[in-house]
Amino acid sequence: MSGLGATLLSSALSIVMATVLGVLLGVALTYGWIGLRLAARLYVDVLRGIPLLVLILFTYYGLALFGVNVSAFWAGVIALGGFATAHVAENFRGAVSSIPSGQMEAAKSIGLPFVNRLRYVVLPQAFRRMLPPWVNTALEIVKGTTLLSIIGVVELLLASQQAMARNYMIIDFYLFTGLVYVAINFTLSRIGARLERRFTFARS
Amino acid sequence: MTDPILLQARGVTKSFGGVNVLKGIDLDVLQGQVVSLIGASGSGKTTFLRCVNLLEEHDGGEILLDGEPIGYRDQGGRRVRLSEARVSAQRARIGMVFQQFNLFPHLTASGNVTLGLTKVLGKSKAEAQEIAEHWLDRVGLSAHSARHPYELSGGQQQRVAIARAVAMQPRLLLFDEVTSALDPELVAEVLTVMRSLAESGMTMLLVSHEMLFVREVSDHVLFLEQGRVAVEGPPSQVFDQPENERLRSFLGRFHGLFGASSA
């Protein structure tokens, strides 16, 4: 089970990276001045358009080409995180645009400056709306870590395959591996559901 | 009148995509006065109100609060927009109550009131809480301070919104058709709160279709028509002896409440 750690760690790192960068990119996408907004839009559209596997391979070999030497593990995290960043950014934009414009106006009218309007009025409401798609993205990331086996990261899938090569218990191992992913993702979606309940402030 | 001029608008213009919504509005609000804007929809009254609070930006003319230009400064004959921080500071001195309440749904009634107190005025949590309790009590909602907006009726929400605005101790309070989204039986409770604020000396600028209320509380009434002030004067003059044809027909629509309808 040596691969489980790599799967969990690369998932967690990618999710954290995607959440932080995705929200920042989402702010740029929603409120940035025109140049920044276009750059953010370009990033989101390009990254969402590239197959994840291509992105992982490109990051792994491409970074080396630019003289940036990162391990396969970190190349994988960057690729997964970068991919999910685009999704989180787009989810953020969607969540913000579903908040009535009167919220921003009310926040303005009590004199809150921009950063505080985001922090105390827009973000709490946006996060609640982002939660379901965010859980989705997290699940995709966990499943996406299997693709890191292609560039030689010994995560859960590759570790299982290596074990199978020794004992030929193919069905058993794939079944078991699959169940481990289900267990991880089920846990994630339970956490998501709990957060959703925790942050519900309106019956709607 | 010896009261100083609190708000002064001179030749305020505003257009949306080539349509001139405001064609030069002049208006003075003295300290402690209640001034009302009436007129048909599309006459520009709400747009003007929003310009005062910089939710819209006027294209020309100037709006002065305590003699200080709102939103822009003049730099060698050129209009320069003020920084975000300056604009926010100006907004903090002007309270606004909206037609749709616009309470923050993720905060309780008291959280709605304290947000500006702590984050804008820098008051301590305890002090803000005390001020919030005071104002929620003033609007008759002390029992509801821990409730979220979705647990309150429209009239209660609007009263929280008034508490939120007035707790900031603004120089001026703006009311934008604040009873228009309420069920008829809830209108009175909101008007009662507004009346008591007016009596306490709060300077208020309101846009309203509650003509009886406007006539009762206003010191000065402006009838806007197509982006201009068509008629203005004390309520007795505007409501009881309207000479302007359009004003007469406008008032006539209010169920014969005024002498104008018989004309």
How many beta carbons lie within 10 A of that of residue A184, not counting itself? 20
Rounded-to-integer distance, Cα B204 and Cα B188, Å: 18
Classify B185 as helix, strand or coil: helix
Output the six-digit token pair for A56. Answer: 């992982």
Interface contact A111-B88, CB threshold 8 A: yes
Largest CA distance in chain A: 69
pLDDT class for B74, splitting at 50, 70, 90? confident
Assembly ipTM: 0.88
Q: Amino acid identity, residue B51?
A: C
- pLDDT > 70: what percent of chain A? 98
Of B85, B106, B168, the CB nearest to A125: B106
Output the six-digit token pair for A93. Answer: 């934009």
Find chain A residues with C-beta within 8 A of B94's C-beta.
Answer: 109
What pLDDT digit, counting tens, does each position of B46-64 carry?
999 999 999 999 998 999 9
Rounded-to-integer distance, Cα B110 and Cα B103, Å: 11
Task: Walk across the sheet containing B60-65 and list its strands.
Answer: B19-30, B5-16, B60-65, B68-69
Strand partners, B222: B37, B232
How many beta carbons lie within 10 A of that of residue B147, not counting itself? 16
Centroid of chain to Cα B244: 25
pLDDT computed for residue B254 by the predictor: 79
Interface contact B91-A111, CB threshold 8 A: yes
Residue B115's closest chain A neighbor by CA? A120
Interface of A with B (CB under 8 A): 100, 102-103, 105-114, 116, 120-121, 124-125, 128, 199, 201-204
The residue extents of the domains of chain A are 2-203
Find chain B residues with C-beta within 8 A of A111's C-beta.
Answer: 88-93, 116, 120, 168
Look up tokens 């058709």; give the residue.
B177
Residues 6+ apart with CB under 8 A from A42: none
The answer to whether the beta carbons of residues B242 and B248 sit under 8 Å apart is yes
Classify B157 as helix, strand or coil: helix
The residue ranking higher by pLDDT, B175 or B261, is: B175
Cα→Cα distances B108→A30, A37, B149, B152, B170, Å: 27, 34, 7, 10, 22
Find chain B residues with C-beta within 8 A of A103's C-beta.
Answer: 102, 104
The residue ranking higher by pLDDT, B77 or B166, is: B166
Residue B1 has pLDDT above 50, yes or no: no
User: What is the pLDDT averaged over residues A44-66?
Assistant: 91
Residue A104's closest chain B neighbor by CA? B102
pLDDT class for B255, splitting at 50, 70, 90? low
Of A105, A110, A201, the CB nearest to B148: A201
Q: What single DSSP character describes residue B72? A: E
The answer to whether the beta carbons of residues B84 and A113 sit under 8 Å apart is yes
Rounded-to-integer distance, Cα A150 and Cα A75, Å: 12
User: How close, in Å, is residue A199 to chain B by CA atoms?
Assistant: 8
Residue B91 has pLDDT above 50, yes or no: yes
Residue B262 has pLDDT above 50, yes or no: no
Interface check B100 vs A, CB under 8 A:
yes
Burial of B102 (0-12, 13-18, 19+ CB in 10 A): buried
Rounded-to-integer distance, Cα B189 and Cα B151, Å: 17
Taking each helix axis from N to C end, the angle separating B109-119 and B125-138, rounded to the nearest 10 degrees, works out to 130
Find chain A residues with C-beta within 8 A of B92's C-beta.
Answer: 110-111
Interface contact A110-B115, CB threshold 8 A: yes
Find chain A residues with C-beta within 8 A of B100's C-beta.
Answer: 100, 102
Of B119, B120, B150, the CB nearest to A203: B150
Q: Which helix (H) or strand (E) holds A126?
A: helix A123-144
Interface contact A112-B119, CB threshold 8 A: yes
Using DSSP bridges, classify how beta strands B72-75 and B68-69 pair: parallel, antiparallel or unpaired.
unpaired
Rounded-to-integer distance, Cα B52 and Cα B39, Å: 18
User: How close, in Å, is residue B252 to chain A by CA atoms?
Assistant: 33
Find chain A residues with C-beta within 8 A of B84's C-beta.
Answer: 113-114
Assign residue B174 a region: left if phi > 0, alpha if psi is -120 to 50, beta otherwise?
beta
pLDDT computed for residue B263 by the predictor: 37
Tell me which long-range contacts A41-45 makes (C-beta under 8 A, separation of at least 24).
A43/A86, A43/A89, A44/A86, A44/A89, A44/A90, A45/A86
Q: Please report, to the nearest 10 degrees, the dihedral formed by the alpha carbons of residues B223, B228, B233, B236 taken in order.
A: -20
Rounded-to-integer distance, Cα A187 and Cα A193, Å: 10
Rounded-to-integer distance, Cα A55 and Cα A72, Å: 13
Output the six-digit token pair for B235. Answer: 């309520």
How many beta carbons lie within 10 A of that of residue B181, not counting itself? 14
Domains and CATH numbers, chain B: 1-93+211-263 (3.40.50.300)
Residue A101's closest chain B neighbor by CA? B102
Q: Domain A2-203, what architecture?
A: Orthogonal Bundle (1.10)
Residue A126's closest chain B neighbor by CA? B106
Rounded-to-integer distance, Cα B131 and Cα B133, Å: 5
Interface contact A116-B92, CB threshold 8 A: no
DSSP state letters, B190-250: HHHHHHHHHHTT--EEEE-S-HHHHHHH-SEEEEEETTEEEEEE-HIIIIIS---HHHHHH
Mean pLDDT of chain A: 91
Mean pLDDT of chain B: 90
Using DSSP bridges, classify how beta strands B220-225 and B34-38 pair: parallel, antiparallel or unpaired.
parallel
